[in-house]
Amino acid sequence: MFFDAPSDWPAEDRARLARYAAHAAFAEGEQWSGKARRGETRLTLNYARALIRKTASYTFPAPVRFSIEPGVGDDPERTGQAERALNALAETLDLGQLDLDLAIESATLGDAAMKVTWDGAAGRPAVAAVHPGSLRAVAAPDDPRRVLQVEQRYTLDREQARLLFGVEIGSRPGERAEVRERWSDDRWVVTLGGQVIRNEPNPYGWIPYVLLPNDPPAHRFWGTSDLDDLADLCRELNRRMSVLARVLELSGAPIAVLENVDSAEGIVVGPGATWELPEGAKAYLLDLLSGGGVELHVQYVDLLYRAMHDLSETPRTAFGDAGRMLSGAALEVEIQPLVQRVRRRRRRWDEVYRARNARLLDLLERFGGEDFPGVRHSSAIWPPILPSDTETAARTAVMLVGQGITSRRTALASLGYADPDAELERVREESTLTP
């Protein structure tokens, strides 16, 4: 994978890749340290991965659509064409599934990334996920959110190198060479096996990578993993559940205790077994469930569950288990922490979508023959976080339009119409036909 940083990368990047490796292993279930002792029970409840996927599912319950409002001096017809082209491209490239996958990766590793380029063979833009461990970014010293340069590294075999760059590498079958692409706004440099094979102006005029750090601190560029808060709790839950499983296993095969007996030779434990004990000796079965010990384990496990739900801001209600009868308003209040968390994530994605969509529109105009002069700013139309009442939403939209608060086009977009302009045109056509 991309967890071994080259020696010429800075120490902070090498530490970042080490974190990626640790987080990826933890998410895959490697949550115990050391080797298991003989006969030791080790359960792994991958609760952290379940919580990460749950948050991503609430963030993206359905694919996101995009709206482009005409600006001052913009042609509304051209703006509508750009919006339709953008949404059609998102559907063609299945960007909804890609976004969900990237949200999970970003929350797991701490970062995610995608590359937006032009696919000459297909005659359309291409959007591909890029492992953040293959990237090194240089940010502006006075603004960590402004990227000045991105370097990507990967390996190619002979056939791939010939196909992508038209060059030959090595002489042995299966031989591979490292490729490094370095992008800035004005330059594109490619090295293959340490040799420069491309050094030319950037054909796009912008860096083709869109980076998605997860909850980055204000003064840092790269993000933090959701596992940072959950890892210790998950390890402790695994230990407690393993102990509890062992206790229950032993209670099903109880331990026979003999007192005042010199030797247990000839004493067979089993159904119907008869023991002859010397005078003054006694035998009994050790009850591991007596004294409330199991209840203490269960109570501690419940506390661990509660801590994980609190730290992940994902109440049990998000899993469909409220534990009691609640009204709709009470359920909304109980799940409010998750709603707030999703809104924070969506604000980060709004920035990502503006950057990605601007690149897609530029590619369509630059290489695809489209004419979207100056149309680059889009906004995301998010699906509801929680199940909503369509009738109530429609009434609210009608009221807002009637009061002059929103336009009909905005109301249609909020109700999920794929092409508000076309729908408004059909309404106007029908109104002219009505006697």
Q: What is the pLDDT of residues 345-389, one digit of tens each?
A: 999 999 999 999 999 999 999 999 888 877 888 899 898 887 665
- In this structure, the answer to whether residues 193 and 158 fall within a common structural domain is yes
197 assigned to some structural domain = yes
Nearest to 229 by CA among 342, 312, 344: 312
What is the CB neighbour count within 10 angstroms for residue 71? 11
Residue 316 pLDDT:
84
Domain coverage including residue 288? 228-320
420 assigned to some structural domain = yes
Question: Which strand ranges, in their side-by-side order, compose the sheet holding 124-130?
Answer: 124-130, 111-119, 209-213
Residue 323 pLDDT:
60
Helices 47-59/95-109 angle, 10° precision:
140
- In this structure, the answer to whether residues 186 and 232 fall within a common structural domain is no
**b/e per residue, 313-341, with b = 16+ CB within 10 A?**
bbbebbeeeeeeeeeeeeeeebbebbbeb
- In this structure, the answer to whether residues 198 and 248 fall within a common structural domain is no
- In this structure, the answer to whether residues 307 and 284 fall within a common structural domain is yes
Spell out, as residue ranges, where the chain has pLDDT lower than 70. Answer: 1-3, 72-73, 170-171, 173, 250-258, 260-278, 280-293, 321-331, 387-392, 416, 418, 433-435
Residue 290 Cα distances to 248, 253, 276, 295, 300, angstroms: 12, 15, 27, 10, 17
Residue type, 292: G
Nearest to 95 by CA among 387, 357, 412, 371: 357
Helices 47-59/336-366 angle, 10° precision:
60
269 assigned to some structural domain = yes
Degrees to nearest 5, angle at CA 50 with 356 and 352 = 10
Residue 50 pLDDT:
94
- In this structure, the answer to whether residues 239 and 170 fall within a common structural domain is no
- In this structure, the answer to whether residues 178 and 203 fall within a common structural domain is yes
Tokens, residue 385: 């976080």
346 assigned to some structural domain = no
Tell me the C-alpha distance between 262 and 415, whole Å: 83
407 assigned to some structural domain = yes
Residue 227 pLDDT:
95
72 assigned to some structural domain = no
- In this structure, the answer to whether residues 165 and 213 fall within a common structural domain is yes
